[in-house]
Structure 1
Amino acid sequence: MKAFPMFIRTTGRRVVIVGGGEQAAQKARLLLKTDAVLVLVAAALEDELQALVQDGRATLVTKLTPQVFTDAAMAFIGTGCPGLDAAAHALARAAHCPVNVVDQPDLCDMTTPAIVDRDPIVVAIGSEGTAPVLTRDIKTRLEEMLPQTLGGLAALAGRLRPAVERRVPRARRRAFWAWAFKGDPRQAWVRGQESDAARTLKAAIAAGGPPERVTAGQISLVGAGPGARDLLTLRAVERLQEADVIFYDRLVDAEVLGLARRDAERVFVGKHVGAHAWPQDRINHMIVAAARKGQRVVRLKSGDPGIFGRATEELDAARRAGVAVELVPGVTAASAAGAMLGRSLTERNVADTLVLTTGTGCASDPAPDSTRHSGPGTTTAFYMGVRHARRLACDLMQKGLPANAPVDIACDISKPGERHIATTLGTLADTLDRNDVTGCAVMLVTWPKPCAERSLQGPGLAEVEPLAKKDAMCL
């Protein structure tokens, strides 16, 4: 950031506006939303500004001097004359007054953001002067999202805060406010039932906290997607911002964790193949124990928690303990790989079936039959299959897929170091070794239908030809 966003107190403070025309009027309209003492500096005022002076909402100074800026909270300059603007800017700077000069970003100590006003809730959107049209578009979207009455609920919360601090134990306050702003009280308020919402809040304060069902701990198994934080769902972001403790995997990107509440506890529970410092039973125990303490627990998993994420074991552990649990889906690696390649994973007359499978098994089944569903008309996405690429390629060729069939290898999808490597089935294992691909990769293999009107083409790859004999690597 080249500018630090902050809110400046205006109560009992002077704000100077230099200019008497439309530019000055625009700034005055903005400042009228505050309780600042407005000082207009101009030889003459247009009608709108003159009315502010007559109504006592602003005072008029007809002569521009350095003293007018002394002890002012800030100044806005918009005379319409570049020379006069520059002179006023110099006087304001000499008085050490922060200044904004209309349409002259090089002379601005501060810029005016686009504002969504739900007083006392105020959202300010800025672009450091680079993209005002974009900031206005964001403002429009926020105006649509935030109910007009939302500020009234925040104001009520401010009036009730002393009572909450007296009557609600510290350990239950976060849950109380989460319920107030996201539960039944808010829903009643935005429906226009302000009195009902207020009575509900006051009853909960008198009872020492929100309803018991609100303070009970819960577990959310949240999909972090393939890496990029803007691929998270809105619900995933919401759960991260609510969480008291987050248990996360080794493949979860640091930028995703950056979306969490700053004071949330973060616990790394990553596992590598063959290294189980955090065995699954221990993870199950930890997340359930945290939820039993009344904490909001997020179990953050890369991709989608329901796809090769051992979610069933964690769901079962929570349910056996009587803890509320939910699944928040994420963008799985195969979908992200298709998006990275700019192609669909299914295609009419080519592949009407999508197979998600893993090349890695468990102790009781170390080499699963990962290709059993592959065949003409399928696209197979192999997860965790890099170490088993030679076996997988051999299995596919024995089933009838030719050695020159194209394979797409997608590595570190949506992360800064993402890579796409195009190869063929017969050279897959050697390609992985040559490119030092060792872990986080998805391999996509499309086996077109015999009736496909066109053969599947990978970047720089030849057409798929019928398999005349088994590839030498399988013999």
Structure 2
Amino acid sequence: MKNFPMFLRMDGRRVVLCGGGEEIARKARLVLRTEARLTIIAPELDSELRGLVAAGRADHQVALGADSFDNAALVFIATGDAARDADLAARARAAGAVVNVIDRPDLCDAFTPSIVDRDPLVVAIGTEGAAPVLGRALKTEIETMLPPRLGGFVALAGRLRGAVAGRLAPAARRGFWEWAFSGPAWRAHLAGRERAAADLLKQAIEAGAAPVPQGHIALVGAGPGARDLLTMRAVQRLQQADIIFYDRLVDPEVLELARRDADRVYVGKDVGACAWPQHKIDRLIVAEAAKGRRVVRLKSGDPSIFGRACEELAAAEAAGIEVEIVPGITAASAAAASLKRPLTERGETDTLVITTGTCRPGDASPDRARLAHPGTAVTFYMAVDKAAEVSRDLIAAGAPGACPVDIIAAVSTARERHAATTLDRLAETIRDEGLKSPAILFVRYPKSLAAARAASSAA
């Protein structure tokens, strides 16, 4: 590497910005996160920079003076005049300042990284000026990986370091901090319970040791398929997990977000071959958590929607193990996004129903008659093989055969397919198009269709 990455102390130091436009305003926003004092040199300032000066957050010099660069730690330059920029860079460098000429890497002593700020934790991404757009893209990815409240917990840990050093033997400190940044105090803080987190840390310090690790189970929604549709919390739990139990519908790219050393166990229930019955999965996740491990039960979509979460919650609670649900984007929402069509439409569909086409073996089929009402939008999960039955039941209950239906298979993945049809041709379309599970059947009975049907009957 050509550049040495380093964090500079900026409290009480001086930063000079040469120029009065948007490029300088962007650098000013960045430097204002520190405790440095800003001086802006330019005959004219844009409205944002004028506001900073008026608020007393920066000094303004109309023209360069003999002492303008004296004691400056950093100088940023963007005047809009290439020759002027080069001259200012030479003058600032001669005064002992570190220089950054915006968009002129050949004139730079240092490059501004893309920054992820969780003060006091700061992540800087640099590309030595070669690919700043890539740096910003990586920043976006890291922003999703680091919890917004992380900085507060780091600051709390910093305030307690002296107490830890005073109460815990050196050999025990590493284990304490590993527990602190992965255990119940960490989870409490990220959930917004800062006081509870602080109490847990202080209790452990007072006891002189970290508590024995307690297991934890997270039922995590993996979303409909695309890994960038995971929630930030889902990514965090994957990165914290010691072991992950996942289903067949979870995309392999989602698993790439997990810790490299996390164990991964496939517990998929393939159609027609239930090699992993639910009670066996329940026992496994509880047994792993009982060892003090952090367990993620990774489910496609949202765990609370046809995800068998009830059994796993009950098993964890019966064993006295902490358990949580991390919601995921369900397939119906992803399908609506793919279609660019809302799940509900004002004046047309004001009731949304999420139901299934496949019930527990031995149970009766759902009562679909109550779904055949004007103004209702119905999303059917696990219903491709029951399409003929769904169509027959809804039409028999009064829904017009002309009701629009969208079939969206493997939504949000590279295999996604879509077919539009009507309720009376639903099964035929699925057969002709060769559509397979997983798929959503999105059936709409708009009020306008009911009104038109009523008018036609009256005529």
Give the Å deviation of 1:453.
Answer: 5.4
Q: In the alignment, residue 202 of structure 1 is paired with which amino acid?
A: I
State how 1:251-266 maps to structure 2 within 5 Å.
251-266=249-264
The 1:119/1:335 distance shift into structure 2, 3 A limit, reads closer
Q: Deviations over 1:41-95 (max 9, x none)?
A: xxx996353235xxxxx8xxxxxxxxxxxxxxxx9997988689999x9xxxxxx
Give the Å deviation of 1:285.
Answer: 0.8
State how 1:124-143 maps to structure 2 within 5 Å.
124=124, 128-130=131-133
For 2:312, the equivalent position in structure 1 comes to 314
Q: In the alignment, residue 360 of structure 2 is paired with which amino acid?
A: C
Conservation of the 8 A alpha-carbon contact between 2:240 and 2:259: yes
Gaps of 5+ in 1: 12-19, 35-43, 53-57, 59-74, 90-98, 456-463, 467-475
The 1:304/1:115 distance shift into structure 2, 3 A limit, reads closer
Q: In the alignment, residue 130 of structure 1 is paired with which amino acid?
A: V
Conservation of the 8 A alpha-carbon contact between 2:245 and 2:297: yes
Residue 218 (str. 1) matches residue 216 (str. 2): yes
Question: How far apart are the structure 2 equivalents of 1:291 and 1:185?
Answer: 21
For 2:205, the equivalent position in structure 1 comes to 202
State how 1:60-209 maps to structure 2 within 5 Å.
102-104=102-104, 111-115=111-115, 121-124=121-124, 128-130=131-133, 145=148, 152-156=155-159, 163=168, 166-167=171-172, 170=175, 174-179=178-183, 182=186, 200=203, 202-204=205-207, 206=208, 208-209=209-210
For 1:422, the equivalent position in structure 2 comes to 420
Q: Deviations over 1:282-332 (max 9, x none)?
A: 101101101111122221111121211111221222222222222232222
For 2:92, the equivalent position in structure 1 comes to none
Conservation of the 8 A alpha-carbon contact between 2:164 and 2:173: no
For 2:371, the equivalent position in structure 1 comes to 374
Give the Å deviation of 1:149.
Answer: 6.5
Conservation of the 8 A alpha-carbon contact between 2:180 and 2:201: no
State how 1:458-469 maps to structure 2 within 5 Å.
none
Conservation of the 8 A alpha-carbon contact between 1:406 and 1:425: yes
Name the SS for the 2:182 alignment partner: helix
State how 1:402-421 maps to structure 2 within 5 Å.
402-421=400-419
The 1:356/1:138 distance shift into structure 2, 3 A limit, reads closer
State how 1:326-365 maps to structure 2 within 5 Å.
326-365=324-363
What's the TM-score, normalizing by structure 2? 0.68
Gaps of 5+ in 2: 9-15, 36-63, 90-98
- The range that moved more, 238-247 or 309-318, is 238-247
Give the Å deviation of 1:362.
Answer: 3.2
Question: How far apart are the structure 2 equivalents of 1:105 and 1:361?
Answer: 63
Which residue, 59, 71, 89 being the options, matches 1:51?
71
CA RMSD of aligned residues (A): 5.2
The 1:108/1:304 distance shift into structure 2, 3 A limit, reads same
Count of residue pairs the alignment pairs up: 402
Conservation of the 8 A alpha-carbon contact between 2:188 and 2:194: no
Conservation of the 8 A alpha-carbon contact between 2:153 and 2:189: no
Q: Deviations over 1:87-144 (max 9, x none)?
A: 9x9xxxxxxxxx9764135888984214466676222256932399999999999999
Aligned-pair identity in percent equals: 44
Give the Å deviation of 1:444.
Answer: 0.9
Q: In the alignment, residue 316 of structure 2 is paired with which amino acid?
A: A
What's the TM-score, normalizing by structure 1? 0.66
Which residue, 4, 8, 27 being the options, matches 2:5?
8
State how 1:223-262 maps to structure 2 within 5 Å.
223-262=221-260
Name the SS for the 1:417 alignment partner: coil
Conservation of the 8 A alpha-carbon contact between 1:153 and 1:189: no
Question: How far apart are the structure 2 equivalents of 1:271 and 1:140?
Answer: 34
Conservation of the 8 A alpha-carbon contact between 2:406 and 2:418: yes
State how 1:448-459 maps to structure 2 within 5 Å.
448-449=446-447, 452=450
Question: How far apart are the structure 1 equivalents of 2:277 and 2:65?
Answer: 75
Conservation of the 8 A alpha-carbon contact between 2:391 and 2:423: yes
The 1:149/1:328 distance shift into structure 2, 3 A limit, reads closer
Conservation of the 8 A alpha-carbon contact between 1:245 and 1:266: yes
Give the Å deviation of 1:448.
Answer: 3.1
Give the Å deviation of 1:400.
Answer: 3.1
For 1:92, the equivalent position in structure 2 comes to none
Give the Å deviation of 1:407.
Answer: 1.0
Question: How far apart are the structure 2 equivalents of 1:220 and 1:140?
Answer: 22
The 1:352/1:83 distance shift into structure 2, 3 A limit, reads closer
Q: Deviations over 1:1-52 (max 9, x none)?
A: xxx99973579xxxxxxxx9849x989x97xx89xxxxxxxxx996353235
Name the SS for the 1:130 alignment partner: helix
Q: In the alignment, residue 8 of structure 1 is paired with which amino acid?
A: P
Which residue, 272, 277, 280 being the options, matches 1:282?
280
Q: In the alignment, residue 252 of structure 1 is paired with which amino acid?
A: V
Name the SS for the 1:363 alignment partner: coil
Question: How far apart are the structure 1 equivalents of 2:353 and 2:143?
Answer: 42
